[in-house]
Amino acid sequence: MRFVVLGAGAIGSVLGARLARAGHDVHLVGRRAHVDAIHAHGLRVRTPDGEDVVRLDAVTTIADLAARPIWSEVDAVVLCVKSQDTAGALRELARHAEPELPVLCAQNGVANEDTALRMFANVYGVLVACPTAYLEPGVVHAYSAPVTGVLDIGRYPHGRDAFAAQVSRVLSGAGYGSEVYADITAYKYGKLVTNLGNAVEALCGPNARGGNLDRLAMDEARTVLFSAGIHAEFAPVSPLVQVRPVGGERRPGGSSWQSLYRRTGGIETDYLNGEIVRLGRLHGVPTPVNAALQRAADRLAVSGGEPGSVSELELLRAVVDARAPGPGPRAAD
C-alpha cells in the first residue's frame, strides 16, 4: 500500500519506518530539522534490540509532496500531528487530495476524527498504544519489543468495513498488534481518560504519573462522561506491548512531556484535559482538576519551561483550593 504519514514525530516516524520495512511505499511530512536529518543520514530507529536505519521519502509540507506521489495512487493518509495542529493540516491536505481519500487519525483525543469528517468522507479512528519518543532530529525510539505497539482501528463514527480490515492486516504485518473495532469512538474516549495523566507527567515528572492528581483527573472525567451520556470503553492492556529500555535507558516521558522537552511552544492538553473541561461546561459538571492541569500545562509550554519543573504538592493544593466551595450567601441585615 502507499501511505502518506502527516506528522512525522515519534508515532508517525516509527510507523513510517515499520511500514517501509514491510514493503510499503511511505512518504513522511515533518519538521524541517527532522526531514533534513532523514535526508542526510536516514531515519534512525532505536529499539531494545538495537538500531535500524531506514531510508524513506520525507518532506516538510504537503505542497512539497504534491509533485511526488500521484494522489490517486495514495491508499491512505495517516494523521499523526498533535490535535492542536489537526485543522490546519487537514485544510492543506484538502487542497491536494480528493475528499474520498481515507484519513486514519492515529492520534490521542476525540476531536480529530470529527474535524477530518468535515473535509474527508472516509475517516478512521486509530487507537494508539505505542511507547515511543522523538527527542532529536532524525532519531526516534521505540520502547516495545518484539511488537512495536498496538494500533487498533475502526471506521468513524462507528462500524467495521473491508478497508479497516485491510489496514489492520497491514499494521499486523508491520510489527503492530491491531484489531478492528465497530465502536472505535468509545475506545478513544476510554483512552482519553487515561491520557489525562499526560499533563501531570509533563508538569510534575514521570514519578507523578498514577498519583493523586492523575486519579482525581480521571475520577472527574468519569463523572463528566456519565453526565454527558458518553460511553467510554477501556481497551485491556495488551500483553503484546512490553516496554523495555533502549540503549540502557528507560522512556523519559510521554508525548506531552516530549513536547515540553523539545520546546515546541505548544502542548496537546487543550484536547485532552480541555475536552473534559468543555464537556463539563456543556453539562453543568465542575471540572476544577482538569481545568487547573490544562492552564498550568499551557503556561509551561508557552514559557518554554522544563518538563517536570512544577511541584506536584503545590499543584495539588491549588486543585484542592479550586474544588473547595465558595462562601455562602450573606444573611440579610
**Together in a domain, 94 and 138:** yes
> Residue 228 above 80 pLDDT?
yes
State pLDDT tens for residues 135-158.
Answer: 999 999 999 988 999 999 999 999
State pLDDT tens for residues 169-182.
Answer: 999 999 999 999 99
**Together in a domain, 311 and 209:** yes
Amino acid present at 241: V
Eight-state DSSP code of residue 243:
B
Which structural domain range is residue 136 located in?
1-182
How many domains are there within the chain? 2
Distance CA 270, CA 310 (A): 18
State pLDDT tens for residues 185-201.
Answer: 999 999 999 999 999 99
Distance CA 33, CA 176 (A): 27
Per-residue pLDDT band at 317 (split at 50, 70, 90): confident
**Grid coordinates given for 327:** 462562601
Cα 70-172-18 angle, rounded to 5 deg: 55
| 297 neighbors 306 (Cβ within 8 angstroms) | no
- List residues bridging with 139 in a β-sheet: 44, 136
- List residues bridging with 174 in a β-sheet: none
**Together in a domain, 172 and 263:** no
Count Cβ atoms within 10 A of the Cβ of residue 297 and give its class: 0-12 exposed, 13-18 middle, 19 or more buried.
buried
With respect to residue 330, please indicate whether it lies within any of the assigned structural domains. no
| 123 neighbors 96 (Cβ within 8 angstroms) | no
More confident residue, 168 or 72: 168
Distance CA 80, CA 179 (A): 19
Distance CA 100, CA 119 (A): 9
With respect to residue 100, please indicate whether it lies within any of the assigned structural domains. yes
Distance CA 93, CA 76 (A): 12
State pLDDT tens for residues 47-65.
Answer: 999 999 999 999 999 999 8
Please give the helix or strand (H or E) that residue 5 lies within, else none. strand 2-6
Q: Where are the alpha helices (DSSP H) in 52-152?
A: 62-65, 86-94, 112-117
Give the predicted TM-score (pTM) of the model: 0.93
Give residue 238's pLDDT.
79
**Together in a domain, 174 and 120:** yes
**Together in a domain, 52 and 9:** yes
**Together in a domain, 120 and 214:** no
> Residue 314 above 50 pLDDT?
yes
| 119 neighbors 99 (Cβ within 8 angstroms) | yes
